[in-house]
Chain A
Amino acid sequence: MSTFRNLVKPYMLWMGIFIIIPMLLIVFYAFTTKGNDVITVKFTMDNFLKFFDSVYIKVLLKSLNIALITTIVCIILGYPVAYIIANTKQKTQTLLMLLITIPMWINTLVKTYAWISVLSDNGIVNSFLAKLGLAPITMMYTDFAVTLGMVYNFLPFMILEIYTALAKLDRSLIDAGNDLGANKLQIFQKIVFPLSLSGVISGITLVFLPSVSTFVIPKLLGGGQYMLIGNLIENQFITVGEWNFGSAISLIMACIILISMYFTRKFDQDKSENGNKKEVKHA
């Protein structure tokens, strides 16, 4: 046993260097003023107080709002797709899931650039509209474009999670529902959907969290003026050079994410109380 335990040590060192120390640095920056050196360290809360300016709060709310819409759209689009895939033949399932995951292999940046050529004023959609003799629609640099980009990027995660939950559902439960007089709709409402909720919850985690903090998609599809919390942090570090303020925003974001994760987890456990998850605990 002890020899195996020793194998963990290099990993802990790795964790320390690449995860713990950078995190501590962020905390350090967030609580200090600009222009520190090794000898003089000035602690302050100003970085946090500054954030509670209405401008920044608006950015935060907008980010949460867009992430929420993205998540909801992903559930609405993803659930039926996952449901249909899970009900096809085993071979078809594998193939379809492969197709769903292929876009995940391609860099977000590339995929987002591709959307620009679709959505821009003289892009594919608008040239098609022009051919039909219709007026062009401005789509680039709108909430619509940003949300679309996010949904496109994060939808596979949602499908994957819901599909996994549906695929591991015991078929005999559906037979049992059928046997007890439930029709297809009732079986879905009372058995399939409640038992797939854990998949939806993990899908929400996988979609909502990156949507809140992404900065590539809003930057490309929303334009330079489009400000979400991710862009705000990026700006502080790269353009403005306010590392202290940027760190403080990052910490605030981390707290929000932590809290939202806590609630989704809690909700998940309440729902599947004593269900599959707890069974493992009691076994």
Chain B
Amino acid sequence: MRTLIKFENIVKEFDGQLVLKGINLEINENEFVTLLGPSGCGKTTLLRILGGFVDQTEGKIFFEDIEISNVPAYKREINTVFQKYALFPHMNVFDNIAFGLHIKKQSKDIIQQKVNKMLRLVGLDGFEDKMVTLLSGGQQQRVAIARALVNEPMVLLLDEPLGALDLKLRKEMQHELKKIQKEVGITFIYVTHDQEEALTMSDKIVVINNGEIQQIGTPIDIYNEPENRFVADFIGESNIIEGFMIEDYQVMFDDKKFECVDYGFDDKESVDIVIRPEDIDIVTPEMGMLKGIIRSSIFKGVHYEMSVETEYRDFIVHTTDYTEPGKEVGLHFFPEDIHVMYKMGTY
């Protein structure tokens, strides 16, 4: 795949506060990339810098190997779906979608044709004469997507576009967005704080915290091999434990030695260890690697979320089998379920 966009050491300062601390990132053609992080981590700022709405304090942006750092927003081949859609309230659906084409002075026939094609793509045929203010949130969302895509950009930026929708609609739109992306075959850069959304849709996830990239990888990489405590904690639920490596494939925590699949650390190096709640099995106390007492068991729909108190810490365990609180149990996990990470700030 060809590199389409390259961020080179992007720094952004707002009133003396560093929002982005030197972002280096490459984005390929036809990729669905998600910038994921908690609110205030700088992900939206990075997107707005790419869109041309905010100037970076330092650093360069390349688009197809041409620097676009100083190209104004209206000249960039990038379109945006804004957080609150930003539809023009004085225009109907057709005129909203046709706005960009009108600006480019395209002929009436072509505009008509392209807008109709977009309306079909987002499933809004027959809505062209409706005023946008009369549409539901989901419909406005579709108009916003159509309005951006009709300009045939090479990149579509989406700034938390599903944030205002209810859960069911959000899930529907997630699949639809992914479908649209495959259909039009362009790069989508998607900003969200919702890790589930990121895991569902992305080809590549960029986890950002405090203006720094924490990890870049596929959803599976990010989930299974979090690079540090922050990523492990932010993506899904996890038990994060401090420990140290005895040698390759041997880690020690809670005064016990465990086999693991990680290597390449220094001997006796302090590490963070993550064990996902669904990777822990509840067994009889004799069979377990750690012993503990179940303190609570909450029904979550598909699984029970249990809190198991052991000598050193409470473990969260997800299991489909109910065990009543107060019972003494053993915890069992396999070597590949133990993920060893570098301590934050040392990698």
Same assembly = yes
On A, residues with C-beta under 8 Å from B are 170, 172-173, 175-183, 186, 190-191, 194-195, 271-276, 278-279, 282
Kindly report which residue of chain A lies nearest to residue B51, judged by CB atoms.
A179
Of the residues B86, B89, B90, contact of A175 by C-beta under 8 Å: B86
- How many A-B contacts are there with CB distance less than 8 Å? 80
Using a CB-CB cutoff of 8 Å, which residues 71-89 of chain B contact chain A? 72-75, 78-80, 82-84, 86-89
Contacts of B74 in A (CB 8 A): 178-183
Contacts of B148 in A (CB 8 A): 179-180
Contacts of A195 in B (CB 8 A): 89-90
Q: How large is the interface on B (under 10, 10 to 19, 20 to 34, 35 or more residues)?
A: 20 to 34
Contacts of B84 in A (CB 8 A): 170, 172
Residue B200 CB within 8 A of the other chain: no
Contacts of A182 in B (CB 8 A): 74, 99, 103
In the assembled complex, 5 residue pairs joining A and B whose CB atoms fall closer than 8 Å, in A order, are A175-B86, A176-B87, A179-B73, A179-B78, A275-B89
Residue B104 CB within 8 A of the other chain: yes
Q: Are B79 and A180 in contact (CB under 8 A)?
A: yes
CB distance from A269 to the nearest CB of B (A): 12
On B, residues with C-beta under 8 Å from A are 51-53, 72-75, 78-80, 82-84, 86-90, 92, 99-100, 103-104, 131, 133-134, 147-148, 151
Kindly report which residue of chain A lies nearest to residue B147, judged by CB atoms.
A180
CB distance from A224 to the nearest CB of B (A): 49
In this complex, which of B74, B79, B151 has the most chain A Cβ atoms within 10 angstroms of its Cβ?
B74
Contacts of B53 in A (CB 8 A): 175, 178-179
CA–CA, A252 and B75, complex, Å = 57
CB distance from A256 to the nearest CB of B (A): 30
Contacts of B83 in A (CB 8 A): 172
CB distance from B145 to the nearest CB of A (A): 13
Q: Are A179 and B79 in contact (CB under 8 A)?
A: yes
Q: Are A274 and B104 in contact (CB under 8 A)?
A: no
Give 7 nearest A-B pairs by CB, closest first.
Answer: A274-B131, A180-B100, A172-B86, A176-B86, A178-B73, A279-B133, A181-B103
In this complex, which of B73, B89, B131 has the most chain A Cβ atoms within 10 angstroms of its Cβ?
B89
Kindly report which residue of chain A lies nearest to residue B98, judged by CB atoms.
A180
Contacts of A191 in B (CB 8 A): 88
Kindly report which residue of chain B lies nearest to residue A186, judged by CB atoms.
B103
In this complex, which of B72, B86, B151 has the most chain A Cβ atoms within 10 angstroms of its Cβ?
B86
Q: Are A272 and B147 in contact (CB under 8 A)?
A: no
Instruction: From known contacts A181-B74, A275-B89, A282-B134, infer whether A175 and B103 are also in contact, taking CB-CB under 8 Å.
Output: no
In this complex, which of B82, B100, B133, B147 has the most chain A Cβ atoms within 10 angstroms of its Cβ?
B133
CB distance from B278 to the nearest CB of A (A): 40
Contacts of A190 in B (CB 8 A): 99
CB distance from B328 to the nearest CB of A (A): 57
CA–CA, A252 and B134, complex, Å = 41
CB distance from A207 to the nearest CB of B (A): 24
Contacts of B99 in A (CB 8 A): 177, 180, 182, 190
Kindly report which residue of chain B lies nearest to residue A173, judged by CB atoms.
B86
